């Protein structure tokens, strides 16, 4: 195993959950060393946090500009190689662009940008940069999601003809039904939160998952949102009819007001020969429906799994892996790419996935606003 | 307990599964005695079947006309009181009409008729007849479905704002993908099978279930079908966006090509205060999502259940009830209605449910064929 | 299908749950007609109940003696052929004996007798009588339990080396912890309830299930009871170590104070090549553990099931069957035996199962009372 | 947050799974920095591994003696503070003793020692040392196991009267049934593997879990082992009857030949007022049986959980946590203890748990070998 990769982190300080998730993921496979970054917009807070997590403070910077300037002056073998962008959404684009323009690798939280337009600019930037770029669609890191993808690719369920993806959460409920709260929360202010709440935040994960597992692309969609109140401008819930090729249809269902649901992401893919189903809250089970044979339940770590799946399993069967492991698998893939090692297609979500996501979100909004008409994706 | 109700059966002879289901259901609560009927279009077969199941053959008739004529001549206290219609779909309407016109009570298999037009005629007929009419939307007979309805009525989940119903089967798969088969099977011939396959056969159950449990009505819908092949004219799969009032939205998903699925009917209803979920394949569990409290699982037979639910439970908790019990509960409600006893709203699906069903099916077809536009229900 | 079998019922009147269960089971496959019986110790109550369920009252008798005397005078082709014994436990033995002595077939609720001694006498009686005798170990009627038996017989899991059976209920809890109640309830009075509560009532079911599914016999056992209070003489809970052959071991766990458990019967059988697991509360699933292949879930009605299993499934896959269906399957087997038709081994529990059960119960008590020593079974 | 704790690691190099588990756990909450150790008996391998995981090699030692000698010479603020012992079982005792004798804190893999005698010596050593000592009974680190403990402590299920713990694995199956393999594998050689296989390796976990969650102690036990073959001297399977106080009984069931089971640890605790159940393979669910109320399912991260449980949850509800998180929670507790911070009882398993474990294992062997008699625990 070669030397660890020098990782800079932008955002994710203090009590940030996303900070914990990325930090742990970077540790798990012994590939990264956190070298510096900008944990907080306030420099003092950044320094304080660095001390708390025992990171040397000499490479904690005031802002990204300072980081880039200083790091570029360092010899290449000391320089931060890759930055994780964990800042508020609207900063993803300018930060990613700056990093790519200066030759850094990037791990970017989702959504990659706030508009499809920005996403396409970033895509062009990456082409010039030629570095590694990953968007953390975390759920693609689960061993059984990877197994699903490989089985579909191998033809286990035959030609796909129907897909159904759900992402139901309920946490917006106490906010949306309170007139006071819903007029003040930044999440429901389109100026701050972008053009979509439910579809932009979680629907896009469901979208990503079905493209990831099937290898097919959504060609067009028809969307209906629910805003719940006349004075609310952000979608709290949406259902999207999709077409993924001739006679290949499906639905993406997303909600932030499915009261009591926690993180209910699930996907079901049906083909001519069988079906495959997976649920994020029980991520270690993959259900194979294969009439006329009995239902089968695939679990991580067994030799019947594909290389891509086994590669993301660290312990023997029966030791449940969770969300940290999923994110860690993505960091592992990125590490291999940065080092120029061979890696499997699907090990981490790329710029292309990020671009698709924005294309999807803007299309759903367009479809809904134009009166639930079909809108094609690029 | 009063004397048993005299039941005539139309269809359901031989190996008919639906015949078994209705016969058992009529037995379970000691309310009916099978007195006669027309089990088969062939009189000899009818007689033979009557002998097999040990029913006196003297009131087995050549056809419904003969039955009506002969029974009307009998004194009222001997006459068949109610007929179960288990014949092919296109016969439901003329048989039901004839029976109602002659003062019989009717238990009619679903779909009640093959067109919305017929359904409305039947509704008028029933008004004049003043008898009892039930459509066997069997799943409403499950104790936990009834419990779901009562809890929503009591406001347990608050104002409903989202519904999601699924009915996924996969049995059409080996037929639809075989060019030879799909051009010859009567199920796929619109002349024989009516205007809709998937939505007419099972989607309508999902539709019925959400109206039954929520007490709300679907006001308009937008539908997209999948025919899978250019040379197939029947919907194999469909997704229906629905609106059940201002800011109350939902989706009905139905499929006969969800490969490997058996009888995957499930419903999820979300309100401002909580959610409720139920699955037909595990009918003895009702999940209550009630953030911030822990998830609760309701089961049949416990005193915490409503009267309507307990009324449909025959054994103590822990003894799983199945589909026979569900149908038996509907027969029980019909018996009470025929006897003029008090019964709870929701004990059996009525003519109104049948009419709604046809309205739904025809609307889905209209929406799809007009290019996925919104269509209002009456 | 031949004429229906004439069935007499002893006990099971009024609100009796066991009465409902047997009556429905006798209806389900169109094999029996309830011809008469003694529903209640009070003749007037018996008559009243017969009227309620619309049974002719002319063959409702004062007691079993009267029934036997009168029926024997009838021509054989009119005579009651089989009686179901649903009376309190202590009456099972004398009633069964009387019936067998007079050439009747018998369906006997469990426990077959209250002592092993009586059970052996009954066994000898049956040998002379040569009629059909069934003990209603209902759970053996479930399609997936039958499938389990057939798979083990076919060697699917190889040589069995470990068995684990659980039967946990919690309903005794509110009684046992109330000093007043526990000193007055007949269930806890050894004079009325026999020598064992938990093991005699439910442990014996678990015992029966493992012998039924494995085809092996318990050779010896070591048992420990929990009485919970010094002033209580009946076992509320017990764990039984068992040996079913050299190096074949297992455990039977039974409880009536597993608080909150409803009817938690489950069995797990492990062999050299795989394992099989089944739970009564979800009776339509059979889990096959078959390392290194993925877990498989078998469900009723599929062609991959054995003849014995399919024979007990009335509807297509996905329509859950419950406890009535399980009991009905046993009645079906008995009907075939009475008619002299061919039937599969395992279709209904026989006298031999009843005898084994009593042998088991008395052995557990002996083991516990002698200080948890090993006791051999005959 | 104070400076990170300097951690030394003994064993766990190369592909060691236990090495990964401890390393990740030490990272997760930002409390430890791996400072040195002895990864491998071969010094060169140790150095190579240190380079692979990017640990400075200057504090990689030849053996534990060298480590202790060198570290003691360093100023206290630079010295390794705590060592994780991940070496083969027989080395746990001498290494732990050496470390304690020299004032180091210790995190020791399970089993703590190979004999009860050694365990007691270690206990005395710890008393003198006054340092922190943890045994990694990992499963006690799961948030829902901790919640179970707290709920029982608060009296949620009332006085406990029955416990049932299972630990079923099947991985020994391909070894034990192969005569060649079973005579050569070190696992089945008592000289190398100690006096017990199944009970020593996994039964002791189940034992630990019921003492941890109930707060009660096993007072005596009666055990039966299954060796499966005459020529095998190690227990492959065992069932242990236990007594935890007057009228408080239970069972521990452990197996390494429950074919197809992966890591099937589960516990069920029943009290006068309710029951609690948990399964390791789905560790994010805690089932509360609370007749006459509906079953409740507790999940991590909700405010209804106890402080001890919430303390071990890093992400919001719905993000499944796995085995790494459980171990990390134990490392977190140890970190607090080392720093002299306040911590909750139950945050990590202590020396006392280790001693109990050995007492348990030796008692099971004694009970079995003496012919399944009751043996008291200290």
Provide the pLDDT confidence category of residue A2 given band limits of 50, 70 and 90.
low
D153/B contact by beta carbon, under 8 A: no
Q: Strand, helix or coil at C190?
A: helix
Cβ distance of A304 and C295 shorter than 8 Å: no
The 10 Å CB-count burial string (b at 16+, else e) for D141-171 is bbbbbbbbbbbbeeeebeebbbbbbbbbbbb
pLDDT value, residue B2: 60
Ranges B316-325, B336-345, C312-321, D200-209, most confident = D200-209
pLDDT value, residue B204: 95
Beta bridge partner(s), residue B264: B168
Looking at every residue in chain A, the average pLDDT score rounds to: 94
Residue numbers of the domain that contains C55: 5-131
Task: Give yes or no: residues B65 and B127 share one domain.
Answer: yes
Chain B with chain C: Cβ pairs closer than 8 A: 102
Q: Give mean pLDDT, residues A366-374.
A: 95
Task: Give yes or no: residues C146 and C293 share one domain.
Answer: yes
CATH value at residue D191: 3.30.360.10
CB atoms within 10 A of CB B178: 12
D283 chain-A contacts, CB cut-off 8 A: 320
- Chain B nearest CA to C89, separation (Å): 20
Chain C with chain D: Cβ pairs closer than 8 A: 124
B298 chain-D contacts, CB cut-off 8 A: 294
Which of C131, C166, C201 is the last residue before a domain boundary? Answer: C131
Q: Give the Cα separation of B50 and B60 in Å (integer).
A: 8
At C277-305, the pLDDT tens digits run 999 999 999 999 988 899 999 999 999 99
Looking at every residue in chain C, the average pLDDT score rounds to: 94
B23 chain-C contacts, CB cut-off 8 A: 30
Whether residue C112 lies inside any domain: the answer is: yes
Task: Give yes or no: residues A93 and A210 share one domain.
Answer: no
A304 chain-C contacts, CB cut-off 8 A: 292-294
Cβ distance of D30 and A54 shorter than 8 Å: yes
ipTM of this predicted structure: 0.93
pLDDT value, residue A54: 84
Q: Give mean pLDDT, residues B14-25.
A: 91
Whether residue C121 lies inside any domain: the answer is: yes
Q: Which of A164, A229, A260 sits opposite B275 (nearest CB)?
A: A260
At A205-237, the pLDDT tens digits run 999 999 999 999 999 999 999 999 999 999 999
Whether residue B137 lies inside any domain: the answer is: no
Cβ distance of B283 and C320 shorter than 8 Å: yes
Whether residue B117 lies inside any domain: the answer is: yes
Q: Under the phi-then-psi rule, with left for phi > 0, alpha for psi from -120 to 50, and beta for the rest, what region is C353?
A: alpha
Whether residue D316 lies inside any domain: the answer is: no
Chain A with chain C: Cβ pairs closer than 8 A: 36
Are the CB atoms for C344 and C143 separated by under 8 Å?
A: no
pLDDT value, residue D193: 83
Task: Give yes or no: residues D167 and D285 share one domain.
Answer: yes
Chain A with chain D: Cβ pairs closer than 8 A: 103
D20/A contact by beta carbon, under 8 A: yes
B157/A contact by beta carbon, under 8 A: yes
Interface test with B, best of C45, C136, C202, C262 (most B CBs within 10 A): C262
Model confidence at A1: pLDDT above 60: no
B304 chain-C contacts, CB cut-off 8 A: none
Interface test with B, best of D289, D293, D296 (most B CBs within 10 A): D296
Burial bucket for residue C98 (CB in 10 Å: 0-12, 13-18, 19+): middle
Q: Which of B288, B292, B295 sits opposite D303 (nearest CB)?
A: B292
Contacts of D143 (CB under 8 A, 6+ apart): D284, D300, D301, D305, D309, D310, D312, D313, D321, D325, D329
Whether residue A60 lies inside any domain: the answer is: yes
Nearest residue in D to C173, CA atom = D272
10-residue averages of pLDDT along chain D (378 residues): 86 91 91 95 95 91 98 96 95 97 96 94 96 94 96 97 98 95 90 90 96 97 97 96 97 97 97 97 95 94 93 87 87 91 88 92 94 95
Q: Which two tokens stand for residue B322?
A: 């199945």
The 10 Å CB-count burial string (b at 16+, else e) for D286-304 is bbbbbbeebbbbbbbbbee
Which of C87, C108, C131 is the last residue before a domain boundary? Answer: C131
Task: Give yes or no: residues B86 and B124 share one domain.
Answer: yes
Q: Give the total number of structural domains in chain D.
A: 2
Task: Give yes or no: residues D121 and D172 share one domain.
Answer: no
pLDDT value, residue B311: 86
CB atoms within 10 A of CB B230: 8
Beta bridge partner(s), residue D133: D106
Cβ distance of D53 and A30 shorter than 8 Å: yes
Task: Give yes or no: residues D124 and D150 share one domain.
Answer: no
CB atoms within 10 A of CB A119: 26
C281 chain-B contacts, CB cut-off 8 A: 284, 318, 320
B228 chain-A contacts, CB cut-off 8 A: 161, 247
Nearest residue in A to C295, CA atom = A297
Cβ distance of D274 and C253 shorter than 8 Å: no
Cβ distance of A255 and B170 shorter than 8 Å: no
Cβ distance of A292 and C302 shorter than 8 Å: yes
Which of B91, B106, B131 is the last residue before a domain boundary? Answer: B131
Cβ distance of C247 and D229 shorter than 8 Å: yes
Sign, CA torsion C168/C169/C173/C176 = negative
CATH value at residue B62: 3.40.50.720
Q: What is the pTM of this model?
A: 0.95
Beta bridge partner(s), residue D112: none
Cβ distance of C294 and A292 shorter than 8 Å: no
At B222-276, the pLDDT tens digits run 999 999 999 999 999 999 999 999 999 999 999 999 999 999 999 999 999 999 9
Q: Give mean pLDDT, residues C256-274.
A: 97
At A158-201, the pLDDT tens digits run 999 999 999 999 999 999 999 999 999 988 998 888 889 999 99
Task: Give yes or no: residues D126 and D149 share one domain.
Answer: no
pLDDT value, residue C316: 85
Whether residue D328 lies inside any domain: the answer is: no
Interface test with A, best of C278, C296, C298, C300 (most A CBs within 10 A): C296
Helix axes C323-338, C143-153, angle to 10 degrees: 60
Task: Give yes or no: residues D207 and D263 share one domain.
Answer: yes
Least confident of A109-123, C251-265, C325-339: C325-339
Task: Give yes or no: residues D112 and D177 share one domain.
Answer: no
Q: Which of D222, D258, D270 sits opposite C372 (nearest CB)?
A: D222
Task: Give yes or no: residues A151 and A223 share one domain.
Answer: yes
Cβ distance of C297 and A296 shorter than 8 Å: yes
Task: Give yes or no: residues A368 and A282 share one domain.
Answer: yes
Q: Which of B291, B292, B296 sits opposite D294 (nearest CB)?
A: B296
Whether residue D99 lies inside any domain: the answer is: yes
B249/A contact by beta carbon, under 8 A: yes
C224/D contact by beta carbon, under 8 A: yes
A318/C contact by beta carbon, under 8 A: no
A239 chain-B contacts, CB cut-off 8 A: 239, 241, 249-251
Model confidence at C346: pLDDT above 90: no
Cβ distance of D297 and B297 shorter than 8 Å: yes
Q: Which of A30, A263, A316 sits opposite D319 (nearest CB)?
A: A263
Provide the pLDDT confidence category of residue C2 given band limits of 50, 70 and 90.
low
At B80-132, the pLDDT tens digits run 999 999 999 999 999 999 999 999 999 999 989 999 999 999 999 999 999 99
Are the CB atoms for A149 and A348 separated by under 8 Å?
A: no
With contact defined as 3+ CB pairs under 8 Å, the chains touching A are: B, C, D
Cβ distance of C322 and B325 shorter than 8 Å: yes
């Amino acid at each position: 195993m070669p030397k660890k990769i020098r990782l800079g982190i932008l955002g994710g300080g203090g009590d940030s959950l996303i900070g914990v998730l990325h930090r742990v993921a970077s540790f798990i496979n012994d590939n990264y060393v956190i070298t510096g970054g900008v944990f907080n917009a306030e420099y003092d807070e950044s320094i304080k946090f660095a001390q708390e997590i025992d990171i040397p403070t000499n490479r904690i910077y005031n802002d990204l500009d300072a980081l880039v300037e200083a790091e570029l002056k360092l010899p290449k073998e000391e320089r931060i190689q890759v930055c994780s962008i964990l800042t508020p959404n609207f900063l993803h684009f300018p930060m990613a662009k700056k990093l790519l323009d200066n030759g850094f690798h990037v791990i970017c939280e989702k959504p990659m940008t706030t508009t499809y337009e920005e996403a396409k600019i970033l895509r062009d930037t990456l082409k010039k940069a030629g570095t590694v770029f990953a968007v953390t669609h975390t759920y693609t890191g689960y061993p059984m999601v990877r197994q699903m993808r490989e089985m579909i690719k191998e033809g286990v369920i035959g030609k796909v003809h129907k897909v159904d993806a759900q992402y139901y959460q309920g946490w917006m409920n106490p906010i949306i039904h309170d007139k006071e709260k819903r007029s003040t929360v930044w999440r429901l202010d389109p100026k701050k939160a972008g053009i979509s709440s439910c579809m932009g935040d979680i629907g896009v994960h469901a979208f990503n998952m079905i493209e990831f597992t099937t290898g097919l692309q959504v060609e067009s969609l028809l969307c209906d949102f629910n805003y719940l109140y006349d004075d609310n401008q952000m979608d709290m819930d949406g259902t999207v009819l999709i077409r993924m090729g001739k006679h290949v249809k499906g639905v993406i269902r997303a909600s932030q007001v499915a009261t009591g649901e926690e993180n209910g992401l699930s996907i079901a893919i049906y083909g001519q020969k069988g079906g495959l189903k997976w649920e994020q809250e029980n991520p270690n089970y993959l259900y194979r429906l294969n009439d006329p044979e009995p239902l089968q339940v695939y679990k991580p770590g067994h030799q019947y799994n594909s290389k891509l799946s086994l590669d993301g399993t660290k312990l023997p069967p029966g030791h449940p892996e969770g969300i940290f492991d999923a994110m860690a698998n993505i960091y592992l893939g990125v590490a291999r790419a940065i080092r120029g090692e061979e890696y499997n297609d699907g090990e981490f979500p790329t710029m292309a996935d990020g671009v698709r996501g924005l294309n999807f979100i803007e299309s759903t909004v367009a479809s809904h606003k134009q009166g639930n008409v079909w809108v094609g994706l690029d």
